[in-house]
Structure 1
Amino acid sequence: MSFDVDYDYDRPDKPEEACGVFGVYAPGHDVSKLTYFGLHALQHRGQESAGIAVGDGDTIITYKDMGLVPQVFNEKNLACLIGDVAIGHTRYSTTGSSHWENAQPIYKAFREGSIALAHNGNLTNTKELRTMLSKNGQRFRSTSDSEVIASLIASFADKGIEGAIIETMKQLEGAYSVAIMTESQLFAIRDPYGIRPFAIGKLGKNFAVASESCALNIIDADYMRDVNPGELVIIDENGLRSVQAVEPKKLSLCIFEFIYFARPDTRLFDRLLYSARETMGVELAKEAPADADLVIGVPDSGVPAAIGYSQQSGLPYREGLVKNRYIGRTFIQPTQTVRQAGIKLKLNPLCEVIRDKRIVVVDDSIVRGNTSKKLVEMLRGVGAREVHMRVSSPPTKWPCFYGIDTADRGQLIAANNEIEEIRQFIGADSLGYLSIEGLVKSTENVRENFCLACFDGVYPIDVPDDLKITKMMLEEEESKING
């Protein structure tokens, strides 16, 4: 067996989402406040920086900073963001490190006007595009691929804003859901594979777009539909219209949106994710039953599947772990004191529920294995007689290059180890995963509509070898920095 067993407190044992995107066109409304509320609903998709850009017909004003949405914005700075159209962004860095220069929205001024841009996803041809733009005189302030998209649009500005966006989409490879605004218009684009979600909502006579439908709900916008793969949506004083800017490819929505990333009150493929996750637990109980006394879920994302497991198995469901809901993403350096506190800073066991019981613990995924190991140790430490770990997704064996921050393959515990070896490492009495077939069945959709690359290694978009190598080098460098 070969394991990376160093517990890195500041990196959870989960895949980590890239970003949340929101946009609204609503003359006569307080668009900055609407965007603030939308970003609040998307906070789970990125906790490193937040920003809002507003257009009043003549100018674009952008405000962004490092931190959570309520830390960045207050009544005073929101009151300065006045206009008819706005976009917002919450960021978790995948391409480009966590610095202010990489915070979004990205603002770009050029001879014909200006734009602001908010991007969720990851391009796979950033290097080539950046080199081409640099040779043509474009200068970059950040290291993010999002600025590359903005610079491409600027380079085609003589074609008009719609033509510039269409030409840009023809150049882009990889995953992207992007909200773009001028001083008076809102645009939404999505890559031809539809890897990252992007929803459209109607707010009276106006419109909004968001990474998840839950962000539309919070502003009382009615969900209409998703931005289609390869589509350009234009929203302005004439209403909403769309252009099929690039030919759609095989639909490949990231399956981890169903498992973990999106909020349980979000709908994808007209399926409420809470219900889908309950069904994952039902299928998991069928595939990996356990002789136990009760079922608990790892909050929050493991709870619906745990309830489903309980319903199917007949074992009682109890709340056995309490989550500290105010910790957020810590920026405290992982000193020895913090390492010793470890998982207890985020989860605390209910000893009376667990003591002397044979427990089924349901979680949504295991990436590196370190948190699962700590969790099992903690449960045994408070008196659990047996700990049976169940995972409501298949083993994560392959890294993502489309906007999800998974470790390189050498750090994925399931990439080089069998299930029994993983069980021994985390210290559980038994370990069971949901199959790909059971997972897809839970979505009430078909396998062909999803990207399952993290489970089966089949990437819908070719990944250049140099991108794979660069990702590995970045991971190694980050590991050195974190000690």
Structure 2
Amino acid sequence: MLTTNPFDDDKLREECGVFGVSGSDSAAALVALGLHALQHRGQEAAGITSFDGTHFHTHRAMGHVAGNFDRDEVIRSLPGTVAAGHVRYSTTGETALRNVQPLYAELQSGGFAIAHNGNISNAMKLRRDLVRRGSIFQSTSDTETIIHLVATSTYRTLLDRFIDALKQIEGAYSLVVMTPEGMIACRDPLGIRPLVMGRLGDAVIFASETVALDVCGATFDRAVEPGELIIVQNGELRSIHPFARPAPRPCIFEWVYFSRPDSIVGDHSVYSVRKEIGAQLAAEAPVDADLIIPVPDSGVPAAIGYAQASGIPFELGIIRSHYVGRTFIQPGDQVRHLGVKLKHNANRALIKDKRVVLVDDSIVRGTTSLKIVQMMRDAGAAEVHMRIASPPTRHSCFYGVDTPERSKLLAHKLSLGGMTDFIHADSLAFVSIDGLYKALGHARRADIHPSFCDACFTGDYPTTLTDQDETAEVDQFAMLAERLN
């Protein structure tokens, strides 16, 4: 089996999306709707856990929400007025049912279910310490570390044990937690990963993106603040801030690619920001051309912004079929090569003899850009220019994004000229980090902490990276030992 989308196999992928409902007789059904809207954040697996006041009920499955949670019998098996769900794209832990969330455990205080968006950057160290003290792990997910920290905490109340656990972890997290006492939603102190709160009648809803609230008919209330814990018990809300309050550093890539364009993130319309990035790109890297062509679908808003700012016509030079499944049987290399055209095909009559500007959101390994440029060449384009609506991705992410090793990132290995030659384009340009910040109404100053986490572009990581640092030390020791031998 092979993914037939030639443009999605070389993208940065968000780890997951979370959705929680408290106070609705249709809690599980609402969660299923919300997960449909968050499917783009994780397509490997999905899960829902509900609580009926006495018992917890869970259904988890590999694959998409559709086909697993659109059957009446599945929703009926998840009774209760409280439910939480998760869609997963793994960045830590194997792709297996035991890692599908929400993860659930029976603690001394009762059932405990947790759905996590992000990545714990000291999970390996914590796991070693917990195993040494007798903890028995059932998954390879970093999220399970939180459960064991709660279980082994010496604080008296469950809330205090949960806070104690959070104070021991590094990295990025947005969490929805279910206990017999109620639901808890929280974000890490830097707010790296998003989480919002909405309402539907008497129900309180938490979601990774506002679009999930829209889909289930809820109204957007506000974002969960960085470092905030919101506790929902019997319809009552309580907010606490148990951590120090550093300047927030939300992930800037949410606006570049991860979030759906119809979402609102941090008071900014994602669609509007992406158009403005395109306009900034047009100002920074103009080109004499005939057509602006988006790389579907994530390049569309930036391409519109580029076209409007440059005065060059916007055209759909790559046509996407919406009626092809994710995979199909590949009986041989020739058919395998042709298979990529099932989902995307060049609009040959439009492109022939034209100077085209392709606009995409990012370049990771460069293999996708190479395919797209060649597609334009094969369709008869006179010139092919590439414009990227983010700065060069030179560094790996350790906060819940599936990034290749740094050595495999094209922008880490090659200069701009080398990247241009690699993808066989006539020219290549990226929006600057200053242009990206400007599109969000900010300025990146060297004398203060930046307003966002932009580590994948700059290498400026906002937290310590214990596991990564330990791995680097081991690798350096192994290299030294090899030299000595």
Q: Same fold (TM over 0.5)?
A: yes
**1:67 CA drift (Å):** 0.5
Match of 1:455 in 2: 457
Q: Per the alignment, do residues 312 and 466 of structure 1 end up closer, same or farther by CA in structure 2, a change over 3 Å counting?
A: closer
CA distance in structure 2 between the partners assigned to 1:295 and 1:15 by the alignment: 24
- Please state whether the residue corresponding to 1:159 is helix, strand or coil: coil
- Aligned alpha-carbon RMSD (Å): 2.3
Aligned length: 466
- Please state whether the residue corresponding to 2:34 is helix, strand or coil: helix
Residue by residue over 1:226-280, the C-alpha shift from the partner in whole angstroms, topping out at 9 and shown as x without a partner, is 1111111101214111111222223111111000000001111211000000011
- Please state whether the residue corresponding to 2:14 is helix, strand or coil: coil
Match of 1:432 in 2: 429
CA distance in structure 1 between the partners assigned to 2:100 and 2:330 by the alignment: 22
Unaligned runs of 5+ in 2: 445-449, 476-485
Match of 2:352 in 1: 355
Unaligned runs of 5+ in 1: 1-6, 474-483
1:56–1:184 Cα contact (<8 Å) kept? no
Match of 1:89 in 2: 86
Match of 1:442 in 2: 439
| Counterpart residue type for residue 220 of structure 1 | G
Match of 1:166 in 2: 163
- Please state whether the residue corresponding to 2:368 is helix, strand or coil: helix
CA distance in structure 1 between the partners assigned to 2:461 and 2:329 by the alignment: 35
Relative to the length of structure 2, the TM-score reads: 0.91
Q: Verify: 1:46 aligned to 2:33, yes or no.
A: no
Q: Per the alignment, do residues 235 and 211 of structure 1 end up closer, same or farther by CA in structure 2, a change over 3 Å counting?
A: same
2:5–2:344 Cα contact (<8 Å) kept? no
CA distance in structure 1 between the partners assigned to 2:434 and 2:329 by the alignment: 40
Runs of 4+ in 1 over 4 A off after TM superposition: 7-11, 326-335, 465-468, 470-473
**1:345 CA drift (Å):** 4.1
CA distance in structure 2 between the partners assigned to 1:24 and 1:108 by the alignment: 20
Match of 1:35 in 2: 31
1:423–1:431 Cα contact (<8 Å) kept? yes
1:253–1:449 Cα contact (<8 Å) kept? yes
Match of 2:182 in 1: 185
1:66–1:100 Cα contact (<8 Å) kept? yes
- Please state whether the residue corresponding to 2:67 is helix, strand or coil: helix
Match of 1:418 in 2: 415
CA distance in structure 2 between the partners assigned to 1:183 and 1:333 by the alignment: 49
1:108–1:154 Cα contact (<8 Å) kept? no
Residue by residue over 1:380-420, the C-alpha shift from the partner in whole angstroms, topping out at 9 and shown as x without a partner, is 10111111100011000000011101111110000121111
Match of 1:263 in 2: 260
Relative to the length of structure 1, the TM-score reads: 0.92
1:204 paired residue among 191, 198, 201: 201
1:199–1:225 Cα contact (<8 Å) kept? yes
Q: Verify: 1:58 aligned to 2:54, yes or no.
A: yes
2:121–2:468 Cα contact (<8 Å) kept? no
Q: Per the alignment, do residues 288 and 9 of structure 1 end up closer, same or farther by CA in structure 2, a change over 3 Å counting?
A: closer
| Counterpart residue type for residue 16 of structure 1 | R
2:28–2:83 Cα contact (<8 Å) kept? yes
Aligned ranges 1:73-472 → 2 under 5 Å: 73=69, 74-156=71-153, 159-183=156-180, 185-325=182-322, 330=327, 336=333, 340-341=337-338, 343-447=340-444, 448-464=450-466, 466=468, 469=471
**1:341 CA drift (Å):** 3.5
CA distance in structure 2 between the partners assigned to 1:470 and 1:330 by the alignment: 37
Residue by residue over 1:200-235, the C-alpha shift from the partner in whole angstroms, topping out at 9 and shown as x without a partner, is 112223211011111111112211211111111101
**1:167 CA drift (Å):** 0.8
2:125–2:467 Cα contact (<8 Å) kept? no
Q: Per the alignment, do residues 241 and 338 of structure 1 end up closer, same or farther by CA in structure 2, a change over 3 Å counting?
A: farther
**1:320 CA drift (Å):** 1.0
Residue by residue over 1:352-398, the C-alpha shift from the partner in whole angstroms, topping out at 9 and shown as x without a partner, is 11111110110000010011001111111011111110001100000
- Please state whether the residue corresponding to 2:429 is helix, strand or coil: strand
**1:77 CA drift (Å):** 0.8
CA distance in structure 1 between the partners assigned to 2:303 and 2:437 by the alignment: 18
**1:132 CA drift (Å):** 2.0
CA distance in structure 2 between the partners assigned to 1:77 and 1:195 by the alignment: 33
Residue by residue over 1:327-347, the C-alpha shift from the partner in whole angstroms, topping out at 9 and shown as x without a partner, is 565597997457524643442
| Counterpart residue type for residue 436 of structure 1 | I
| Counterpart residue type for residue 87 of structure 2 | T
2:5–2:340 Cα contact (<8 Å) kept? no
| Counterpart residue type for residue 450 of structure 1 | F
- Please state whether the residue corresponding to 1:451 is helix, strand or coil: coil
**1:295 CA drift (Å):** 0.5
Q: Per the alignment, do residues 289 and 301 of structure 1 end up closer, same or farther by CA in structure 2, a change over 3 Å counting?
A: same
- Please state whether the residue corresponding to 1:398 is helix, strand or coil: coil
CA distance in structure 1 between the partners assigned to 2:321 and 2:154 by the alignment: 49
CA distance in structure 2 between the partners assigned to 1:115 and 1:164 by the alignment: 12
**1:446 CA drift (Å):** 4.7
2:65 paired residue among 42, 66, 69: 69
CA distance in structure 2 between the partners assigned to 1:345 and 1:281 by the alignment: 28
